[in-house]
Amino acid sequence: MKIAYFLAICLFLLTKQSVLSNPLNNKWLKNEIVDSVYYDIYIPPNFQNKCLLVFPGWNYSRKSWIKNTKLIHFSNQFGYALILPEMGKTLYESSYFPETYLKWHSIPGGVFIKKVFIPHIQKKHNLLTPKQFNALLGLSTGGRGVVLTALENPGLFSAAASLSGDYAQELYPKDNLITAIYGRYSEFPDRWHNIDNPMYRTQEWKISLYLAHGLKDKVVPEIQSSTFYKKLKNLHKNNIKIIYNVVPHGKHNYQFWNGELKPIFSFFESIQAGSL
């Protein structure tokens, strides 16, 4: 009896430890940290082995998507784990330069996502693994991050959605944010054109993409998305599913971004269904 009781206690403790250490048994994991960068993870009750890496806008909190949209609702409906890093003031750059005067972290943003964040999430939480259906979602500068992350991590993501993003920095050679990372356009045009420029990497694009932009966006002009879309379509024709939704009254705000979530998740679901 004593041996049986002892074994039962051991089994209980092992089971309890397993439950506590397995994030899939928790609805929220908040204020997690890797290399001084905070992140949150949400696991829906009906998690279906699908993951969504979510990027906020420039200097927006990682919590802003949750507070201002129905993202949790769609996560629950379709079974997507949400992974929300605190990206702050990054352009998802691959390098810093002597002229760089704005560094969000000791590691450039794009390098951090690829070399630090994704491997950490895979190892610690068993999410964003190659065996899962992985997608990307971002708005504004986070939309740029979506595209660059997809390009820098080929084979890991199956679909992406980018809202109100900017993809061709050379269209605005006086852009202060681009200048803060890459130096002045007049001095370093090659950097602006050839480094971290989605427009010049469209030939490399491999995954399904949902783009949307509002015609009344006064922060990021709609020409950014329309130009990027046209070049992708001209190159890839119908070989890759690429959708562009132009919203006549859409602005650079959460009313517009929240309104895009329903078609985005329908888009993701169609891609996953086609991959089965």
Q: How many CB atoms lie within 10 A of CB 88?
A: 16
Return the pLDDT at 22: 45
Name the amino acid, one letter, at 84. L
Work out the pLDDT band at 274, boundaries 50, 70, 90. Answer: confident
Return the pLDDT at 151: 98
CATH class of 27-275: alpha beta
Q: How far is CA 245 from the centre of its chain?
A: 19
Residue 77: is its pLDDT beyond 60?
A: yes
Work out the pLDDT band at 6, boundaries 50, 70, 90. Answer: very low
**Mean pLDDT lowest among 17-31, 104-118, 222-236:** 17-31
d(C-alpha 92, C-alpha 109), whole Å: 4
Of 151 and 23, the one with more pLDDT: 151
d(C-alpha 101, C-alpha 20), whole Å: 43
d(C-alpha 233, C-alpha 238), whole Å: 7
Q: Which of 257, 244, 72, 102 is nearest to 182 (CA)?
A: 102
Average pLDDT, the chain: 92
Query: pLDDT digit string (tens) for 150-204?
Result: 999 999 999 999 999 999 999 899 999 999 999 999 999 999 999 999 999 999 9
d(C-alpha 111, C-alpha 175), whole Å: 22
Residues 45, 49, 52, 53: is their CA dihedral positive or negative?
positive
Degrees (nearest 5) of the Cα angle 100, 160, 124? Answer: 75
Return the pLDDT at 52: 98
Query: pLDDT digit string (tens) for 223-259?
Result: 999 999 999 999 999 999 999 999 999 999 999 999 9
What one-character-per-residue DSSP string does 106-147 give? SS-HHHIIIIIIHHHHHHHH--S-TTSEEEEEEETHHHHHHH
Q: How many CB atoms lie within 10 A of CB 25?
A: 10
Strand 50-55 with 80-85, pairing: parallel
Query: pLDDT digit string (tens) for 41-71?
Result: 999 999 999 999 999 999 999 999 999 999 9
Extents of the domains making up the chain:
27-275
d(C-alpha 207, C-alpha 157), whole Å: 7
Task: Tell me if 167 sits within 8 A of 228, measured CB to CB.
Answer: yes
Return the pLDDT at 20: 35
Give pTM, 2 decimals: 0.90
Q: CA 180 → CA 47, 91, 169, 203, distances in Å? A: 40, 10, 12, 27
Return the pLDDT at 273: 87
d(C-alpha 245, C-alpha 214), whole Å: 9
d(C-alpha 129, C-alpha 118), whole Å: 9
Return the pLDDT at 97: 97
